[in-house]
Amino acid sequence: MRRLLVTIRYDGSAYHGYQVQSNAVTVQEVFQNALEKVFNKRLDVKGCSRTDSGVHANMYCISFDTDMNIPNESVVLALNTYLPDDIAAYDCKEVSLDFHPRYSCKSKEYVYKIYNGKYRNPFYAKYALWYRWSLDAEYLNKEAQVFVGKYDYSGFCSIKSDVEDSVREIYSCKVWREDDFVYFKVCGDGFLYNMVRIMVGTLLFVNEGKIKSGELKDIILSKDRRRAGKTAPPQGLYLNKVNYYAK
Amino acid sequence: MRRLLVTIRYDGSAYHGYQVQSNAVTVQEVFQNALEKVFNKRLDVKGCSRTDSGVHANMYCISFDTDMNIPNESVVLALNTYLPDDIAAYDCKEVSLDFHPRYSCKSKEYVYKIYNGKYRNPFYAKYALWYRWSLDAEYLNKEAQVFVGKYDYSGFCSIKSDVEDSVREIYSCKVWREDDFVYFKVCGDGFLYNMVRIMVGTLLFVNEGKIKSGELKDIILSKDRRRAGKTAPPQGLYLNKVNYYAK
């Protein structure tokens, strides 16, 4: 028995997130269908994270067990012939049998992409948030640094969530501009439901002066969802990197 | 009576090109529908170029005449509320009544985008050609310089075309790499049907050694479609810029 860890990229536009749901097409289901064609058997898979409807992934890790001895490189190539255009594998390696893509994870990195052009851009409708007003990336980068640290982030969590422990450690974050795009990158030990999207919505409130300079830390400490900003839309969000403990 | 020139961007993935066809959705038809909502009247429009099914435009110019006095900026905003996500206007200005977006054009620039990563990338399935083999952009740039000049380009034209004059002048062209992407940019006084896509397909033959160093000029002069390369697929092609004589 071998445990394989496959890394994929996906354009989440057409999917209701990663995790299988009874009445909607998800990445997991489509991946399992392709995997079944490669291994001639329906395999159980474990993913590294839930992702929301419309959210993308530059790096998403999935593990499964098999007795077959297909070379790792061939698993990638075979999967790609069966996966649709909007999902593609780019790595496959063997991991130890106690490896779990979610629980063996050391940190995760998300990127949120904002298109800051004056007019709607058709090439980014599904790949960035369009924000037409002036956006001060340097100022936001300075204010955003209070996210770094270990906090009870329950004020930055969708009220639909029922997670018990809402303490998360953020290792780093950065806001920067590249031409008409502004990016928010954040790395942490884990993220609550909608947490990155609420961080972005809150930074937009900071940008608009609805949250004053220096006020963000109080808002985190208040654990009050109503004091944070709106949940930014899904299409700007990318799961960018998953870091594992040595396997 | 005023003649207005509107500039749009579009993701051509869902369209059968620009020009109206009886049995397929085109950019022109969708644009005219939005224009009709803004001006309360079906207006006749002139476009700067035909584009093929699946081809994109970073800059596409359309003119029409109107008696209404909507400010130019408002035309852009109103159009964008009626246009679908994959088409957006970003400029509108008044031009003289003898201006024609096609015939007043001094030069056009196209860009062809190639994704040169090892594996299929879901984010570029509809926005670039995926070419997985080694690609020497510097070498191609050197060889491609023979495209520059005034030639009878009938060997670089789809055999479906019935254009009489196939002499075109290419002002400049360039091949360059940016990380996993290789770009081909070409500027000329006009382009025959499929000409840029055949230029790209031919450069891929050069890359693969099917056409030897220095042989490209003979192939142009031969006017023989069979000696040029394949027609590269549409999704990598962008009409990038349209330059006009002073209006």
Percent of chain B with pLDDT over 90: 91
| Dist. CA A76–CA A163, nearest whole Å | 35
Q: Per the domain annotation, does A101 fall within a domain? A: no
Q: Where does the pLDDT of residue A63 fall: very low under 50, low under 70, confident under 90, or very high at 90 and above? A: very high
Give the number of domains in chain A.
Answer: 2
Cβ–Cβ < 8 Å for B155, B219:
yes
pLDDT of residue B161: 65
Q: Which of B11, B52, B85, B189 is catalytic?
A: B52
pLDDT at B247 over 60: no
Least confident stretch, A81-90, A155-164, B217-226: A155-164
Specify whether A90 is located in the same domain as A162: no
For position A87, which CATH number holds? Answer: 3.30.70.580
Pick from A9, A76, A127: CB nearest B121: A9
Mean pLDDT calculated for residue range B21-38: 92
Specify whether B112 is located in the same domain as B210: yes
Specify whether A113 is located in the same domain as A75: no
A10 is in an annotated binding site: no
pLDDT at A247 over 70: no
Is B126 in Cβ contact with A127 (below 8 Å)? no
Residue owning tokens 């479609």: B225
Domain boundary among B73, B95, B117: B95
Give B90's contacts in chain A (Cβ within 8 Å).
118-119
CB-based burial label for B67 (10 Å; 0-12, 13-18, 19+): exposed
Residue in chain B nearest A80 by alpha carbon: B120
Q: Per the domain annotation, does A168 fall within a domain? A: yes
Domain boundary among A29, A62, A95: A95
For B212-247, give the secondary structure using H, E and C: CCCCHHHHHHHCCHHHCCCCCCHHHEEEEEEEECCC
Is A76 in Cβ contact with B125 (below 8 Å)? no
Percent of chain A with pLDDT over 70: 98
Residue in chain B nearest A117 by alpha carbon: B90
pLDDT at A10 over 60: yes
pLDDT at A95 over 80: yes
Q: Where does the pLDDT of residue B156 fall: very low under 50, low under 70, confident under 90, or very high at 90 and above? A: very high
| Dist. CA B25–CA B54, nearest whole Å | 12
Least confident stretch, A112-126, A134-148, B20-34: B20-34
Give A86's contacts in chain B (Cβ within 8 Å).
122, 125
| End-to-end Cα spacing for chain A | 17
Is B88 in Cβ contact with A121 (below 8 Å)? yes
Write out pLDDT tens, residues B181-214: 999 999 999 999 999 999 999 999 999 999 999 9
Residue in chain A nearest B7 by alpha carbon: A119
Cβ–Cβ < 8 Å for B149, B126:
no
pLDDT at A160 over 70: no
What residues contact residue A62 under an 8 Å CB cut-off, 6+ apart?
A: A5, A6, A7, A8, A28, A31, A45, A46, A47, A48, A101
Percent of chain B with pLDDT over 70: 98
If one counts every other C-beta atom within 10 angstroms of the C-beta of residue A223, the result is 16
Mean pLDDT calculated for residue range B64-87: 96
Domain that holds residue A133: 107-244
Specify whether A161 is located in the same domain as A231: yes
Domain boundary among B95, B123, B155: B95
Helices B137-144 and B195-207, axial angle in degrees (round to 10): 120
Q: Are strands B2-10 and B87-95 parallel, antiparallel or unpaired?
A: antiparallel
| Dihedral over Cα of B158, B161, B166, B171: its sign | negative
Helix or strand run (H / E) with residue B177: strand B167-178
Mean pLDDT calculated for residue range B71-100: 97
| Dist. CA A224–CA A138, nearest whole Å | 26
Specify whether B131 is located in the same domain as B238: yes
Please tell me if residue A13 touches chain B, with a CB cutoff of 8 Å.
Answer: no
Is A123 in Cβ contact with B56 (below 8 Å)? yes
Mean pLDDT calculated for residue range A16-34: 90
Nearest Cα residue to A232 out of A109, A57, A112, A60: A112
Which residues of A are annotated as catalytic? 52
Mean pLDDT calculated for residue range A190-208: 97
Specify whether A88 is located in the same domain as A116: no
Is B86 in Cβ contact with A125 (below 8 Å)? yes
For position A182, which CATH number holds? Answer: 3.30.70.660
Cβ–Cβ < 8 Å for A141, A174:
yes
Specify whether B130 is located in the same domain as B85: no
Specify whether A19 is located in the same domain as A57: yes
pLDDT at B160 over 70: no
Mean pLDDT calculated for residue range A2-16: 96
Please tell me if residue B11 touches chain A, with a CB cutoff of 8 Å.
Answer: yes
Radius of gyration of chain B (CA): 19
Is A9 in Cβ contact with B123 (below 8 Å)? yes
Residues of A (55-94) whose Cβ lies below 8 Å from B: 56, 76, 80, 85-90
Specify whether B145 is located in the same domain as B191: yes
Specify whether A113 is located in the same domain as A204: yes
Write out pLDDT tens, residues A96-113: 999 999 999 999 999 999
The DSSP 8-state label assigned to residue A60 in this structure reads E
Tokens representing residue B127 in the block = 């926005």
Cβ–Cβ < 8 Å for B228, B219:
yes
Residue B179 is among the residues annotated as catalytic for this protein: no
pLDDT of residue A22: 78
Q: Where does the pLDDT of residue A159 fall: very low under 50, low under 70, confident under 90, or very high at 90 and above? A: confident
Residue owning tokens 């997130």: A17
Specify whether B163 is located in the same domain as B89: no
